[in-house]
């Protein structure tokens, strides 16, 4: 559209290998991130090479169970198109384009920045598909984006939505899918006690102890969701999955909580609260590995709630965050009340001096 005001929405996500040959380089990119392993080079580079080589065979087997690669990119593309449609009411003469910036595999952040420049964006909103801020996710993606934009000479005003742990649309979508999963579990095991496990990707405890607000923001997400659902305090728990390596991680561990509930004969509902699209941690770890664990340990039922994906309430929430960001000149726009990371030294807003 000639003369249109062009607004680029850049969706940050981790990415995933799209084929078996991409698994090892994807793992290298992940572990070579200084936000993941805080070692100077060449030590981080060499360690990342070693870890990627050792973990690749196991990881390839995981991705083989999903057809050979991760579905995260096509899932994110569906979210991008839905968000473009939701922002179609910004007025005549305004064109919205959603671009995907993956951190560890194609389309890389640098590719997204180049596409935004070539498209001719007048304004840019950086919108992470990580609802809860962490130095290992949003901060890493933002750091790489800024470097790419600087290198390309991308001058359009840019605003980052740093987090949205209790955004009403996100919480409504979570509550909706959780209610559906609870209904299914109760239908399968009407006499069993219900146990709702809100599962998030874990972090090494030392990262949280340094001031990363991720755990506090996960707790904010769950608090808002259980309030909306009206769940009793003893019916639910927060747990953390995907632990790797010898470090102490935040807990309790999702698999441990699942096994305990299963041995008690409970009807288990597992709800992903930090993943907004399906990928290996949901389709393999939660569905297959933890599902088998639950059934072998005697669970009355095991139901995994889907991720929010392109749920209309979630997409509406993202659209609202984008509109709010466009209405400010601040480079970082919090999608929370700051209560979820108050006092945390590595909150994005604190780091920005806000």
pLDDT in tens, 22-44: 999 999 999 999 999 989 999 99
| Mean pLDDT confidence for 58-75 | 94
Q: 3-class SS at 311? A: coil
Distance CA 272, CA 49 (A): 30
What band does 242 get if pLDDT is binned at 50, 70 and 90? confident
Distance CA 252, CA 289 (A): 17
Of the listed ranges 30-44, 255-269, 330-344, the least confidently predicted one is: 330-344
Is the bond preceding residue 329 a cis peptide, omega within 30 degrees?
A: no
Task: Give the residues across from 201 on adjacent strands.
Answer: 241
Distance CA 99, CA 322 (A): 13
pLDDT over 90, % of the chain: 87
The pTM of the full predicted model, rounded to 2 decimals, is 0.94
What band does 245 get if pLDDT is binned at 50, 70 and 90? confident
Q: What is the pLDDT of residue 263?
A: 98
**Domains 5-165+312-351 and 168-304 are alike in CATH topology:** yes
Q: Give me the helices (H) in 65-137, please.
A: 72-86, 109-119
DSSP code of residue 101: E
Of the listed ranges 94-98, 222-226, 285-289, 347-351, the least confidently predicted one is: 347-351
| Mean pLDDT confidence for 314-342 | 84
- CA 100 from centroid of its chain's CA atoms: 14
Of the listed ranges 200-209, 274-283, 330-339, the least confidently predicted one is: 330-339
Would you tell me which CATH number, out of the four given (3.40.50.620, 3.40.50.410, 3.90.1580.10, 3.40.50.1400), belongs to the domain 168-304?
A: 3.40.50.1400
Instruction: Say yes or no to pLDDT of 96 above 90.
Output: yes
Identify whether the C-beta of residue 99 lies closer than 8 Å to the C-beta of residue 8: yes
Instruction: Say yes or no to pLDDT of 170 above 80.
Output: yes
Instruction: Say yes or no to pLDDT of 49 above 80.
Output: yes
Beta strands in 188-327 (DSSP E): 194-201, 236-241, 267-272, 301-304
Structure tokens at 320: 């609202």
6 φ, ψ (degrees, to nearest 5): -105, 120
Is the bond preceding residue 184 a cis peptide, omega within 30 degrees?
A: no
Q: What is the pLDDT of residue 344?
A: 73
Q: What is the pLDDT of residue 353?
A: 45
Of the listed ranges 21-25, 139-143, 268-272, 332-336, the least confidently predicted one is: 332-336
Q: Please say whether the dihedral angle defined by the alpha carbons of residues 201, 207, 209 and 210, taken in this order, is positive or negative.
A: negative
| Mean pLDDT confidence for 147-169 | 95
Annotated binding residues: 201, 281
What band does 354 get if pLDDT is binned at 50, 70 and 90? very low
Question: What would the 3-class secondary structure string for 137-167 be?
Answer: CHHHHHHHHHHHHHHHCCCCCEEEECCCCCC
Torsion of CA 10, 15, 18, 24, to 10 degrees: 140
| Mean pLDDT confidence for 317-344 | 82
Would you tell me which CATH number, out of the four given (3.40.50.1400, 3.20.20.105, 3.30.565.10, 3.40.640.10), belongs to the domain 5-165+312-351?
A: 3.40.50.1400
Annotated binding residues for Fe(2+): 201, 281
| Mean pLDDT confidence for 8-18 | 97
Q: Locate the domains of the chain by residue range.
A: 5-165+312-351, 168-304
Identify whether the C-beta of residue 72 lies closer than 8 Å to the C-beta of residue 100: no
Q: Are strands 194-201 and 236-241 parallel, antiparallel or unpaired?
A: parallel
pLDDT over 70, % of the chain: 95
Instruction: Say yes or no to pLDDT of 5 above 70.
Output: yes
């Amino acid at each position: 559209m000639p003369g249109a005001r062009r607004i680029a929405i850049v969706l940050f996500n981790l990415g995933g290998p799209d084929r078996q040959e991409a698994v090892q380089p994807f793992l290298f990119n992940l572990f070579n991130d200084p936000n993941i392993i805080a070692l100077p080079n060449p030590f981080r580079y060499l360690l990342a090479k070693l870890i990627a080589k050792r973990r690749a065979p196991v990881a390839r087997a995981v991705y083989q169970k999903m057809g050979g690669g991760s579905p995260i990119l096509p899932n994110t593309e569906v979210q991008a198109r839905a968000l473009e449609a939701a922002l179609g009411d910004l007025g005549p003469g305004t064109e919205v384009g959603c671009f995907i910036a993956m951190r560890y595999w194609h389309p890389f952040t640098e590719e997204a920045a180049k596409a935004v420049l070539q498209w001719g964006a007048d304004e840019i909103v950086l919108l992470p598909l990580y609802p809860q801020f962490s130095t290992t996710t949003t901060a890493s993606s933002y750091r790489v984006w800024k470097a790419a934009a600087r290198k390309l000479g991308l001058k359009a005003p840019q605003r980052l939505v740093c987090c949205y742990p209790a955004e009403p649309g996100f919480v409504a979508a979570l509550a909706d899918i959780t209610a559906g999963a609870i209904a299914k579990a109760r239908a399968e095991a009407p006499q069993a006690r219900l146990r709702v496990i809100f599962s998030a990707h874990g972090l090494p405890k030392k990262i949280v102890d340094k001031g990363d607000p991720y755990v506090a923001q996960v707790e904010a997400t769950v608090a808002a969701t259980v309030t909306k659902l009206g769940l009793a305090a003893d019916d639910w728990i927060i747990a953390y999955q995907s632990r790797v390596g010898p470090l102490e991680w935040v807990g309790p561990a999702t698999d441990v909580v699942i096994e305990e509930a299963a041995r008690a004969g409970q009807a288990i509902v597992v709800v992903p609260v930090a993943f907004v699209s399906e990928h290996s941690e949901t389709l393999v770890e939660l569905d297959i590995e933890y599902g088998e664990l639950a059934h072998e340990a005697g669970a009355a039922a095991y139901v995994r709630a889907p991720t929010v994906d392109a749920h209309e309430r979630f997409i509406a929430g993202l659209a609202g965050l984008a509109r709010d960001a466009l209405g400010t000149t601040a480079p970082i726009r919090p999608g929370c009340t700051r209560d979820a990371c108050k006092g945390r030294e590595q909150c994005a807003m604190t780091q920005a001096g806000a």
